[in-house]
Chain A
Amino acid sequence: MRIVLHLLRKEFLQVFRNKGMLPIIFVAPVMQLLILVHAADFEVRNVHLIVSDMDGSSTSRGLIARFNASDRFHVDRIIGGFPEGMAAIDAGDADALLRIPAGFEADLRRKAHGDLMLDLNGVDGQFASLVLVYARAIIASEQVHIAQHMISGSRAPAPPVEVIPRFWYNLQMNYKNLMVPGLLVVLVTLVAMFLSSMNIVREKEIGTIEQLNVTPIKKWQFILGKLLPFWFIALFLLAFGLLIGKLAFDIPIEGNVLVLFAFAAIYLWVVLGVGLFISTISDTQQQGMFVSWFFLVIFVLLSGLFTSIDNMPHWAQKITWFNPVSYFVEVVRMVLLKGSGPAQIAKQFGIITLFAVVVNGLAVLNYRKRA
């Protein structure tokens, strides 16, 4: 045990001696969290809508006013029709074009029916479908207004079925509540994986690994001494990030933080083990970092952080079973947002523990005390 302590001391000295790395390890991730939470946001705001109002009636003006009143839409009116509107979408000045045809109000009066046309820039599919959801909601609420004011009561009955939506766990529909915990997971994973994957290979590259190999240090002592410092750093980063999330973004903490840290403690061994494994198969730091970058990108894309795993095809969902990041993203959201307890995350606990044992076993087996 004393040998491990000496090794720990050496590693900590090396980490804290490097004045260039310290701010990168601690300050950069926090800055990222503060800044990127505002960026990593699928919430739809500031939609540039252009309206081509060929009707010019009080009804069409009422509809435009309702779009204007919504904080999601910036409305610009244009004189022309479809060609001018599409030109604006082509140039990227507008996201959507709403066309109100001439005779819209008259049709509503005579036939109790009017048509609207909405052209959307579909390059970003999710953005477009959310714009459609919001635009339909605004038009639907204006429709109730039109029915009350224009059409006599007998012809516009109240809807027979009233739908009452309830949004749980996130009443303000605040996207940050979802993204802060998820981004925190990614940042902690990133730091832990890069530091561990570049560590042993660095000793190889500089040549100091040979000196370590001729000492009586045992394999497990060496690896424990290598990984423990990063384990502490990553856990500290998680605590620090949670604190900032609470102070800066007031993210909800419904569940028990201790459950979260217990999970993180095991999860980090998986990440460090993967980093260690990469480190043992690499010859240079550049290789180590590119290979870990490769795995991280795939892990993060398939983690359900940005796009829900439920939307993926079945074969991709099966791949996510082997993705440790997806379990932590899931657990962090369950514990923080919904207050899930140990009983509800027992399955994830079991799987991640199994991963930790397998990955570290492989890494230790693969590490040979040879140059």
Chain B
Amino acid sequence: MTWYLRPAGEVLLAIAAAPLAAPLFAGWIAQCRAWMQNRSAPPLIQPYRMLHKLFQKEVALATDASFLFRVTPYVLFATMVLAAAIIPTVATGLPFAQVADAIALIGLFATARVFMALAAMDVGTAFGTLGARREMMIGFLAEPALLMVLFNTFLLSGSTALPRLVETYRAHPSLIEPSLLFAAVAFLMVLLAENARIPIDNPATHLELTMIHEAMLLEYSARHLALMEWAASLKLFNYACIGFALFLPWGIATRATSNGLGLVIAVASLAGKLIVAGAALALIETLSAKLRIFRAPEYLATAFILAVLGLLVHLLLGGQA
């Protein structure tokens, strides 16, 4: 009778935990940024308040919007939730862990991006198509760099499955080597570009002509907008967790330590890492300015070359594939 309760509970927990936690991370970054810029900070739960407010409102839907426009917020949210369930955030033995490896995860993010771009083109406004074009451009520039980062980590562990990667690192801490430093910097640059952060895009901008991500949301309102915003904060959370799995795997519960204490440690270490990462992101955003859109290729090419350098360092130092 109860044999299915435990797996079902695990699945539900894996699906529900990340979406509930992700807005907190976004709120923490906003708070840090406000402190660093000498503004009075919004409360930590501000993103939840905004979601709550948006869910209460009535949707104002453009007359010409098709089903694609209405389905996209749900699809976007679902892909991000599923991605969070696949990434080893706290443990390597999560129920969805084997559904997709890191490359398929990139593919999942690409699906979300394509849906968002198509929805932005659906109503046929000038800003929507502009945002869609720019977003797809950033996408095709970032993907090669991201893949080269994964190549680096694959060479060390022989696997593109993130849980396996974490377990290999935990089993052989000596595997961590200089090539990963290059890869980590490249990954950070890709993370900033993919999540519409400064220096590529400014999440707090009100100037339509410079928008990328925000321009695609202009026609959305109420619950649709809430889901889109929620998905965006989840995406940032997901990227941060991929970064932890690739470069800072300490604390994640492996098969050996997957008991109560291990999970508590894992959750605590994840929280600690997120706090530090959020502050670091806020610092980067405070210290740098937004680039012109046509400087974006240079920026992402730099990320790509860093990742390739990491690869060459690994191969030249005689590492075994």
Say whether A associates with B: no
